[in-house]
Amino acid sequence: MGMNYRYIAVEGNIGSGKTTLSKMIAEHYGAALMLEEFENNEFLPKFYSNPERYAFPLELSFLAERFQQLKDLQHGANLFQPLTVCDYYLSKSLIFARTNLNDDEYKLFWKLFNIMFQSIPKPDLLIYLYASVEKLRSNIRKRGREYEQKIEAEYLEKIQSQYLEFLNKYAGQSRVLLINMENGDFVKSTSNFNAILDKIENQLVEGIQTLNF
């Protein structure tokens, strides 16, 4: 493995395949794997049923859980593996909060986020999986989580817009690999997955680098 990364974060919209790719990269490199524990969040199904009531507790609970996991990483929870792969980055909290919270709630949330953000490790490489809203909805239908089936295209579009705005700002001082998944399938196509590995191992420079299949 011709690279010096210690921490890779994989990001993307709902249904983009970030957890699957994170698992595959971690397995390939024998890396530590850190996954978001969203299935244990009792507020998530409630949020999809009643967004206005449950958005704030949902975003706070996600922020607290993500922060705790990343602090554990910082304090050496994975000392025996030189690389950790994570299927989210803490800034995800801010992206979803901006979409889901009203202005007053978001201002408070941002203050809490900013305090936490200063003290967590930053990834050496951020991978973003891009797919159209149509493909995201198809992926969501295929994986069959009941509470996700009512997610509207407009919501996914808002999240996508927030992510792309974030990436443009973030890439000014960090490495970002944007993978266009519209015509790709790294699970079924070995060549697609190998192309991702080649990009990772190329020691990317700061800014946004893209990979199209």
Catalytic positions are 87
Q: Rounding to the nearest 10 degrees, give the CA dihedral for residues 71, 196, 177, 188.
A: -90
Copy the structure tokens of residue 89.
Answer: 């980055």
Total count of residues recorded for the chain: 213
Closest CA to 186 of 171, 200, 176: 200
Residue ranges in 75-212 assigned as alpha helix (H):
91-100, 103-117, 133-143, 153-170, 190-201
Task: Name the phi and psi angles at 119, rounded to 5.
Answer: -110, 10
Q: What are the tokens at 183? A: 């015509």
